[in-house]
Chains A and B, each alone.
Chain A
Amino acid sequence: MSFDPRTAETAIERPAPLFPRQFQQDRTLGLVIGVLCFLACLCAVAALASDRAASGWRRELGASATVQVRPKAGETPSEAADRAAEALAGAKGVAEARALDREAAERLLEPWLGKGNIPDDLPLPRLVVVDLDRQHPADAAALNQALSAAGVDASVDDHGRWIADVRRTGDIARAAALGALLLFAMTAGAVIAFATRATLQTQRDVVEVLHLAGAQDRFVVKLVRRRFAILAGQAGLFGAATAAALAALMKLFGGENGLTPVLPLAWIDLLAVLPCPLLAAAVAAIAVRRAAMSILKAA
């Protein structure tokens, strides 16, 4: 028997995986995890964008106040409004105050009453729009004080109610996104645990031979864990890339009047998908460990 170990050696380059590949199962599993990761990434990106929208609205609402002026006897509404604007412009924490003229007030009503349907003699409340100092904005009390000091009868709306609403909406959206992410992770974990159980069941003979050869449970778990963690990581990469691509398309083609105003995506938001492959692999590793250990211990 002519045998040269060196030629044989070249044929053996690295040890093969101890569990046989199961292409069918792996493909299905990869698809499921990939879709879950895709949805999770979209969810994360949307959460960031809606957070940005909410804080944008909050900033805009917080940066201005609206004052409704009631003219005193013997004073035209315009005079009253001008007087109020003057008083407010000098107040601390105010950048600028502008009295809206009657045309501007009519424009505000047009959406409800229709263009040209506003009778000339309809008494319209006159408004003063106050832009607040961005660094140290005046609050409603300060504005009221400035107005009463100038003897103007007016009511101040510092948009506090709207700000609170926007903040609450933002909180709810954030909690919902977080809950959804948790749900995706749990679903992925359950699917992986299921696949782990299926693998160990169908490969029971292999597991038994490994055990008889002196394998510790840890060793067997590691084999499955490695395989599913890699699979989940790859699926996570795929899902994340797809979600990022979709988000990029939305940003590029969302249009001024389309999605962009509602969900102001920033390019940096796309970075949110980056941890996805790692998280997917981690979820898989944990799920495999838990499922496999319970099966092996019971065997």
Chain B
Amino acid sequence: MTRHGADFAMAEPASADTPVVSFQGVGMRYGRAPEVLRDIDLTLTQGSFHFLTGPSGAGKSSLLKLIYLAHQPSRGLIRLFGQEAATLPRAALPALRRRMGVVFQEYRLLDHLTVFDNAALPLRVAGGRFDEYRQDVIELLAWVGLGHKISAMPATLSGGEKQRLAVARAVVGKPDLLLVDEPTGNVDQEMGRRILRLLKELNRMGSTVLVASHDVALVEESGSPILTLKGGRLGGPQDGPLP
């Protein structure tokens, strides 16, 4: 990963005191259903690393959706990299999304593309040239343990392999903000630690990281601040998950 780290460059870092993510009194609902998130106040400063925990259905994935602009809040104010999300025109979204890497809970791999093409997707979408990114992508895939599966199709991967591919796709563009939904749900402890080390390393190089996870052992072991969702409201950061 050191090779990756060497040319790691931040896309115009916001000034140090501008939070990467800031929520003020944010609510969210699906359709006309009652709000699944209420009165969320949240600030992720640049270079921070947070865990987001909470029982199943608490709204962890929903909160991430708000950040990666896949869903509109029902109220409140969301600022991303200092920009107010609600006022952004459609044409401004791609540039913002390219500064984020997302590992979706359900992976959202493209089934008709090889492992390599899935991992390379963000670079391709950003206009990268195949000859230029090919080597980087191959090395990244080797690092997450998929070097021998480079031309495999996602349908032939195990759950853990899919998860690692999703992680590779999220980090390949060296994003300023990394949103990771259940990164270790399907991998053994060793691979879980490895993924976490990768996220930590990216964090050390400047990425702001938010990891939603059930994995209490992993979360506690990491020693990073923890945000806890319960009943649609946010608690923490605290020293450990709520009892």
Contact = CB atoms under 8 A, between A and B. Distances in A.
- Which are the 6 A-B pairs with shortest beta-carbon distances? A214-B98, A20-B112, A3-B147, A214-B97, A215-B125, A216-B94
A12 B150 contact: yes
A20 B122 CA distance: 17
A205 B109 CA distance: 10
Interface string A87-117: 0000000000000000000000000000000
A9 B134 contact: yes
Nearest to B169: A213
A11 interface: yes
A214 B175 CA distance: 11
B130 A14 contact: yes
B148 interface: yes
A233 B233 CA distance: 57
A74 interface: no
Interface of A: 1, 3, 5, 8-9, 11-12, 14-16, 18, 20, 205-206, 209-217, 219, 297
B139 interface: yes
Contact of A3 (B90, B108, B113, B148): B148
B189 interface: no
Given A3-B148, A15-B120, A8 B94 contact: no
B97 A5 contact: no
B110 A209 contact: yes
B126 interface: yes
Given A1-B145, A1-B148, A5-B138, A16 B122 contact: no
A213 B121 CA distance: 7
B105 interface: no
Contact of A18 (B70, B98, B113, B151): B113
A206 to B, nearest CB: 6
Nearest to A215: B125
- Residue among B94, B113, B114, B126 with most chain A CB within 10 A: B94
Contacts of A209: 108, 110, 121
Contact of B113 (A5, A16, A205, A297): A16
Contacts of A212: 68, 70, 97, 102, 108
Given A212-B102, A297-B90, A8 B121 contact: no
A219 B90 contact: no
Contacts of A1: 145, 147-148
Most buried by B among A5, A12, A14, A206: A12
Interface string B41-81: 00000000000000000000000000010100000000000
Interface in B6-39: none
Given A12-B151, A15-B120, 6 more contacts: A8-B138, A8-B147, A211-B97, A212-B97, A213-B98, A214-B97
Interface string B85-97: 0000011011101
A217 B95 CA distance: 12
Contacts of B108: 205, 209, 212
Contacts of B2: none
A5 B147 CA distance: 8
Nearest to B133: A15
A206 B110 contact: yes
Contacts of A213: 97-98, 121-122, 125, 169
B102 to A, nearest CB: 6
